[in-house]
Copies of this chain bind each other. A is one copy, B any other.
Amino acid sequence: MTHTSPLNYSTHSADYLTDEEHGIKVPVTRIAQDDSPNGQPNEPFTVYRTTGPGSDPVRGLPALREEWISARDDVETYEARGRKLEDDGAKALRRGAASQEWQGAQRAPLRAKPGRRVTQMHYARNGQITPEMRFVALREGVDVELVRSEVAAGRAIIPNNVNHPESEPMIIGKAFSVKVNANIGNSAVTSSIAEEVSKMQWATQWGADTVMDLSTGDDIHTTREWIIRNSPVPIGTVPIYQALEKVNGDHQALTWEIFRDTVIEQCEQGVDYMTIHAGVLLRYVPLTAERVTGIVSRGGSIMAGWCLGHHQESFLYENFDELCEIFAQYDVAFSLGDGLRPGSLADANDDAQFAELETLAELTQRAWEYDVQVMVEGPGHIPLHLVRENVEKQQQLCHGAPFYTLGPLVTDIAPGYDHITSAIGATEIARYGTAMLCYVTPKEHLGLPNRDDVKTGVITYKIAAHAADVAKGHPGARDRDDALSKARFEFRWRDQFGLSLDPQTAEEFHDETLPAEPAKTAHFCSMCGPKFCSMRISQDIRDEFGNVDEQARIVQQGMAAKAREFREAGGTVYLPDPAFPAR
């Protein structure tokens, strides 16, 4: 595996799509193509460039959306809650040093002016077309009214915290291309700003549409700060992880106040969506007691333990309206966590899972009352024949709110290969309307993903998302397949590599057995060699026997000869030779 970006590939170059009237610039990669052997040119192929404009880690990205946000005149700066000692964990090592390293902007946080809601859903419902919607429309190649109306209806979200002005707008909804999220973050202490930023960039480089920072260790606040300031994609978090750090890991010590304070801290930093496990109700916990794998969501197990330990209903559920009020002030989207998702095929589609889904549906509507954007998280581990029911039930119960699933894995027997077991389920669930897929890496269930695992996870999920787009008949989804297949048939090897999701690996694999430069233009490859190359023979047929009309003439000759032979042998036209059954 190589560690370079597809953008470094020889046929790739950076460019922009522009909407000059509205001052919108969407970064794209142009993939140059050679002419066909018959001299016909092949237009460059354009794909969205998720990496954004690129940044110096210690300075961050430019604040692309700053003017769009301020022009709406509905936000104001205020004296922030400020970073507290406990935000980075009791044993954080680098707070001082890290602050000195940072050379970029230090902005006071924004939030809605009193009584205002600053969510994209709020604007959409009021018929307002925002620059964020225009960016998304240009990026997706759709009419901006489709974007507005889907966001207004709650069927799509544009996660864009006003405090993350660096982000490039993207949309999550079943009317749009299927998106992929990559999880990063770990519990180890890392060494520098650059390293944290590099992880996030590595994921986006291979096409992650959003990134979740699931860090649970020390320096959690500072780590997240660096990631957000450099991220061109929306950042998601699970705030209960940080809240738990603040109570030294004792989940019984969690309180609504600590949680709310953590949420506000993250709102001020610019987190774009947060996983909230507010659907794990006290009365649902016993439904998991006889499961094969119990509760497998971290947030779900923490809340279940809290509810039973306190003999009380979840503080997340009880205070959900206050969360909505907070989120509406920053445009943070809910990602309603499925804390009771199944962790094995045996537990799939059970009472616990579907009971929680009904509560998530109720919470979706409550959030919509505050114009807060919502997506709903889904499983998990599901046998293939039960996958479709998950998305259809979620879509029906949650009135079309975007579904965001982890896989699902369609078998439990292949640890080490769960990117594959889950890509099978992910393609199926996306095909029927799931809007975003959370990747799974080969290390799932076993350990922390390294750089190669992240890349493998992202590419595997780009495959799943793309295959689902094609299966859904999403407009233009098959264009890249067709361009690559045409290049393949015409032995344009460089174009075949350039158009693939991972050009370097494709070229490396080719070169392993036929490394010489002439092999890049050879009309065969090492799989079959020249004598057995079906595509070469197939092309020779076209060269030798011409186009379809000429071939048909040859067939007629052959059939005429056959018929003559047949008649000469005494055959009758009423009993045709079985070699040529009438049809």
Contact = CB atoms under 8 A, between A and B. Distances in A.
Interface of A: 187, 216, 241, 244, 249, 251, 282-283, 285-286, 288-290, 292-298, 300-302, 304-305, 307-313, 317-318, 343-346, 358, 362, 381, 383-385, 410-417, 419-421, 423-424, 427-428, 431, 442-448, 450, 459-460, 462-464, 466-468, 470-473, 478, 480-482, 484-486, 488-489, 496-497, 499-502, 505-506, 508-510, 512-514, 525-529, 531-535, 537-542, 544-545, 547-548, 551-552, 554-555, 557-559, 561-562, 579-581, 583
A579 B317 contact: yes
A467 B478 CA distance: 27
Given A424-B464, A509-B443, A410 B471 contact: yes
Given A345-B485, A384-B470, A446-B510, A538 B412 contact: no
Contacts of A463: 411, 413-414, 417, 420-421, 424
A446 B506 contact: yes
A527 B286 contact: no
A478 to B, nearest CB: 6
A444 B445 CA distance: 29
Contact of A485 (B187, B293, B579): B293
Given A308-B554, A420-B463, 16 more contacts: A285-B555, A290-B548, A292-B489, A293-B538, A297-B534, A301-B535, A343-B488, A343-B534, A344-B489, A384-B468, A385-B472, A385-B473, A412-B480, A415-B496, A421-B467, A447-B510
B528 A305 contact: no
A531 B583 CA distance: 70
B509 A416 contact: yes
A286 to B, nearest CB: 4
A458 to B, nearest CB: 11
Contacts of A343: 485, 488-489, 534-535
A86 to B, nearest CB: 16
A357 B315 CA distance: 61
Q: Report how many copies the assembly holds.
A: 2
A562 B289 contact: no
Contact of A535 (B293, B346, B506, B562): B293
Contacts of A298: 528, 532-534, 537
A344 B541 CA distance: 19
Given A345-B481, A488-B293, A305 B535 contact: no
A268 B151 CA distance: 69
Contacts of A448: 513, 526-527
A561 B460 contact: no
Nearest to A412: B481
A416 B385 contact: no
Contact of A244 (B444, B486, B532, B547): B532
A421 B424 CA distance: 9
B423 A482 contact: no
Contacts of A505: 416-417
19 contacts: A292-B485, A295-B535, A298-B533, A298-B537, A308-B544, A311-B558, A312-B561, A312-B562, A344-B482, A345-B470, A410-B470, A413-B481, A413-B499, A415-B497, A417-B505, A423-B423, A423-B424, A444-B527, A450-B512
Of A411, A463, A499, most B-chain CB atoms within 10 Å: A411
B384 A445 contact: no
A538 B288 CA distance: 9
Contact of A500 (B416, B534, B551): B416
A558 B282 contact: yes
B447 A283 contact: no
Given A431-B385, A443-B527, A541 B411 contact: no
A489 B538 contact: no
A499 B415 CA distance: 10
A74 to B, nearest CB: 29
Given A411-B463, A414-B501, A415-B509, A538 B345 contact: no
B385 A410 contact: no
A531 B485 contact: no
Contacts of A444: 527
A375 to B, nearest CB: 21
B541 A308 contact: yes
